Structure 1
């Protein structure tokens, strides 16, 4: 019958790409099940048809399950529950609110309560081989210094509600390691594909690109703060390839992985690299981050610049992620994080092609 792969977070970009990678790498595909919100069904059908066509799958292989992680038993019908109970062997939980400016209440409902519901549902799967949970490296909150994959320590505080609720959700998943084979994935800040630059939204590092693009008319563009902090950017293809591989690796059960750049660049270096590639300029002068945050506290200004004020916190946060466990367990696969500089050209080209397309920009509030 083959393996049954169940995904939350479809038809989101990361989930879409992960499904493709799992299909490409797995010879024992039995069924792919995707949990889809009612208002996303039409889009999910289009994405599923594209995947079926790309990999020559039988249409009966791919199943759209209408449901909601914020509801008990994921709001899946009893008939579908019976099928899933029999056939699901691998669960990939990606559904979450990925937004630094998310209000606490919404983040709590989706990231924490939703994960608790998925955990309870997963516990009832008799044929489960692996539960793969997508967390974030930034569950460390305001902790600084060297941060390890083997740690899950309550930090003194968090930079935003996204970090806090993802930490609380990971605590819930961590407790399952005693009962079922769990692998926790902690990505760094995700950017577009290292070869094509493709992404579906301009957040994270793209806020810097928005900033530079909106101010390109100025004769001189200053840097933002000293930029001494390391900013850990990882391309989507590394995240996808590593996760697909680790989901099938027996040695990965019970482990947590930092899918982060072992050799990240400082914020000032990233800023200069982007400015050079986008505008062929070098920064002149400096705006203190305290001044920058004040400017971004003004809604009209942050909307004009296309930057969430919460993003500036990562320019001063001095933490570094140790990813020894991930690097070690990925070594035999040949999968490694590409150098940020090597992907800057396609990243910039994709941004410039799509910068005027509103569907790529997140709503700045």
Structure 2
């Protein structure tokens, strides 16, 4: 692990769950550095609450400031004086702001994920003391590709399952254009679940839609959805945080792209069974065609009733294997490994069961 002099960290995506936890990890590990947090106007109140918590309990921390802004605007919507000051002091930029909804409309995804990243790139190039630019992509920039996906690959003529994937791909392409001018680390997480030790998560989206589906049918025999032979790549959030913390501080992470994915993922069918056993106390006993469920989820009334986005099904049938040998090699020096899904899914389900009626954690399905 490389030592760091006092740094000035600039984050987009705060007060989001990942950004908050990465900042918390930096502070926890003895950083007395400064934190400059770009916050969308709609999230200012929550950001103020979270910054108080981060700086609380007498923790060793430098300055922590919130800056109202918007990545979809030129100069990130910052006042020119503020932007100029930050360009002179920021040493590390973490760009996490994005629309992560699989059902996101194209225009919104384009504005936030692509235009937003183009604006962040331009801003980073004006940071005179920049030491690292950490960009959060997704493993699913691979789109509809099958077979083994390498960390060194991006543009392979793939199609995309939704606007989220397409715009995250386009955004990562833009980040690659600045790699020769800024020390850059690109993080591609798999599908993120809650903390492997506590189960904590901020929103019940992604794989939690399957839990919501099982909730609706737990009183009757549970079916498998299709005869998938694909693996599903699920990773707990604490692994993403620990890995990002290490890779963003190590010189080994410069000019690298990392799949933060499970090196030994479970078959989607087995993962579904484990979730059903934990949540409903029983195994699936028959199979319904995936096409039938997809057709039902295409009906807004049914989709709203089960509270499941139909796009979720695609990730239980994706025949892609994410090679993460680069990440494993560079994380091994810190003893960081992805936990086994079967070991932490009980905690994830337990947290879901305790909080499934919390409206703050529920994603509205339209």
Q: TM-score, normalised by structure 2?
A: 0.97
Greater percentage in helix: 1
Q: 1:187: Cα distance to partner?
A: 0.1
Matched, 1:15 2:19: yes
* Per-residue CA distance 1:134-182 (angstroms, 9 max, x = gap): 0000000001100000111243310100000000000000111111100
Give the Cα–Cα distance (whole angstroms) in 1 for the partners of residues 44 and 283 of structure 2. Answer: 46
- After the TM superposition, which of the residue ranges 110-119 and 346-355 deviates more from structure 2? 346-355
The separation in 1 between residues aligned to 2:227 and 2:155, in whole angstroms, is 29
Partners of 1:313 and 1:246 in 2: how far apart? 30
Query: Structure 1: which 5+ runs fail to align?
Result: none
Give a deviation string over 1:287-323, Cα, whole Å, max 9, x none. 1001110110111111111210111111221000000
After TM superposition, give the deviation of residue 42 of structure 1 in Å. 1.3
Between the aligned partners of 1:267 and 1:54, the Cα distance in structure 2 is 42
Q: Is the 8 A contact 2:27 2:60 kept in 1?
A: no
Of residues 5, 8, 15 in structure 1, which corresponds to 2:9? 5
Q: Are the aligned partners of 2:14 and 2:38 in contact in 1 as well (CA < 8 Å)?
A: yes
- Report deviation, 1:26: 4.9
The offset of 1:54, in angstroms, is 4.4
CA offsets 1:312-359 (integer angstroms, 9 cap, x no match): 111221000000000000001011100011111110110001111122
Q: Which moved more, 1:298-307 or 1:182-191?
A: 298-307
Aligned to 1:229: 230
Q: Determine the structure 1 residue equivalent to 2:151.
A: 149
Alignment counterpart, residue 43 of structure 2, candidates 40, 54, 58: 40
Alignment of 1:240-251 (within 5 A): 240-251=241-252
Over aligned residue pairs, what C-alpha RMSD do you find? 1.2
In structure 2, how many angstroms separate the alpha carbons of the residues matched to 1:124 and 1:280? 55
Shift of the alpha carbon at 1:57? Answer: 4.2
1:98-138 Cα distance to aligned partner (Å, 9 max, x none): 01000111000000000000000000001000000000000
Render the CA deviation track for 1:201-238: whole Å, top value 9, x for unaligned. Answer: 111111111111111121x1111111311110000000
Query: In the comparison of the two structures, how many residue pairs are matched?
Result: 362
Structure 1 runs of 4+ with >6 Å offset: none
Distance 2:43 2:36 in 1: 15
Query: Which structure 2 segments of 5+ residues have no match?
Result: none
Q: Distance in 2 between matches of 1:156 and 1:328?
A: 27
2:63 is aligned to 61
Cα distance in structure 2, aligned partners of 1:320 and 1:54: 43
Residues in 1 aligned to 2:271 and 2:312: alpha-carbon distance in whole angstroms: 14
Q: Normalising by structure 1, what TM-score?
A: 0.97
**Structure 2 residue aligned with 1:357:** 358
Residue of structure 1 equivalent to 2:217: 215
Q: CA deviation at 1:17?
A: 0.5
Equivalent runs, 1:297-316 vs 2, <5 Å: 297-316=298-317
Counterpart contact for 2:147–2:321, Cα < 8 Å: yes
